[in-house]
Amino acid sequence: MPALILPATLLVLLMMVAPMVLLFRYSLNLYSPTELMIEAFTARNYLSAVTDSYYREVMGTTLQVAFFSTLIALTAGFPAAYALARMRGRWKAWLTLLTVFPLMVGNVVRAAGWMTLLGNTGVVNAGLRATGLLSGPVQLMYTPGAVVAGIVTVVLPYMILTLSSVIEGIPRNVEEAAQNMGARPFTVFRRIIFPLALPGVVAGSALVFILCMNAYATPVLLGGAQFKMMAPAVYDQFVRTTNWPFGAALAFILLAVTLGLTVAGSALLQRRYRR
């Protein structure tokens, strides 16, 4: 058995761990406008990122967008996942395919669709003006709401598929027994379905939160130049300013915050599940 795992382990080490180690080493170097990167061993880049009010604000914006996007995806995805899990027959295969279909479209293409929908001359503003509710366009693009909406559409299939796989394992007769005992539908959901589906909630929320924290194309296209999240900020340091040490430090700060919050949130939910 260990021999079968060895090729995959070596591939992971080669393609993921080695670049991360190299990037961490870069984060300890210093930046020079003339030499680009000076060999050093210092935490100055991390201190600069943590103490800079601009990057603290960017991190706060990233956390807010990720939290609300995850919450909306969980709220909207749970009913769809329940319906998909309880469905029988050929319609289930078709609905599963429709759920997976958005994943076949690139994030840039989806963001372009949202731009067509929410732009000043887009479908929404045109419809509102046609009904006489508005005399001029409403600023829907380049707002936090547009970014959250775009990110939710990207991550929602992951939430639905994760929850659906767990809800399928909940015996239907448990719900029927509760209903026969006089429990109302909301009580069945609150006391039976949700607690038993909590492992799926933990897994789906962790996956979606990580994807939201590292979103790049959607914030850039729907948020505009003034709306900054951590992933675009890291890209700017690497590509536009060529400050690789500082960009590497920002990348590892984003990684540490994402993993720390994901592990803490998962631990709290798992503790409630065990209780």
Is the pLDDT higher at 12 or at 251?
Answer: 251
What is the topology classification, in CATH, of domain 53-274? MetI-like fold (1.10.3720)
| pLDDT average, residue stretch 251-274 | 85
| pLDDT average, residue stretch 16-31 | 89
> 3-state secondary structure string, the chain?
CHHHHHHHHHHHHHHHHHHHHHHHHHHCCEEECCCEEECCCCCHHHHHHHHCHHHHHHHHHHHHHHHHHHHHHHHHHHHHHHHHHHCCCHHHHHHHHHHHHHHHCCHHHHHHHHHHHHCCCCHHHHHHHHCCCCCCCCCCCCCHHHHHHHHHHHHHHHHHHHHHHHHCCCCHHHHHHHHHCCCCHHHHHHHHHHHHCHHHHHHHHHHHHHHHHCCCHHHHHHHCCCCCCHHHHHHHHHHHCCCHHHHHHHHHHHHHHHHHHHHHHHHHHHHHHHC
Give burial (CB, 10 Å; 0-12/13-18/19+) of 5: exposed
**Calpha distance 163→207 (Å, rounded):** 11
Cβ atoms within 10 Å of 168's Cβ, excluding its own? 14
**Calpha distance 90→102 (Å, rounded):** 20
pLDDT tops 90 at residue 226: no
Condensed to tens digits (0 to 9), the pLDDT of residues 156-165 reads 999 999 999 9
pLDDT tops 70 at residue 274: no
**Tokens 């430090």 -> residue:** 249
| pLDDT average, residue stretch 95-108 | 85
As a whole number of angstroms, the longest Cα–Cα distance in the chain is 76
Q: Decide: 197 and 174 in contact? Cβ < 8 Å.
A: no
The one-letter amino acid at 184: R
Condensed to tens digits (0 to 9), the pLDDT of residues 167-218 reads 998 888 888 888 888 888 888 888 889 988 988 998 999 999 999 999 998 9
Cβ atoms within 10 Å of 61's Cβ, excluding its own? 19
Q: How confident is the model at residue 1 (pLDDT cuts 50, 70, 90)?
A: low
| pLDDT average, residue stretch 219-247 | 91
pLDDT tops 80 at residue 41: yes
Kindly list the domain boundaries of the chain, sorted by start residue.
Answer: 53-274
Confidence (pLDDT) at 273 = 62
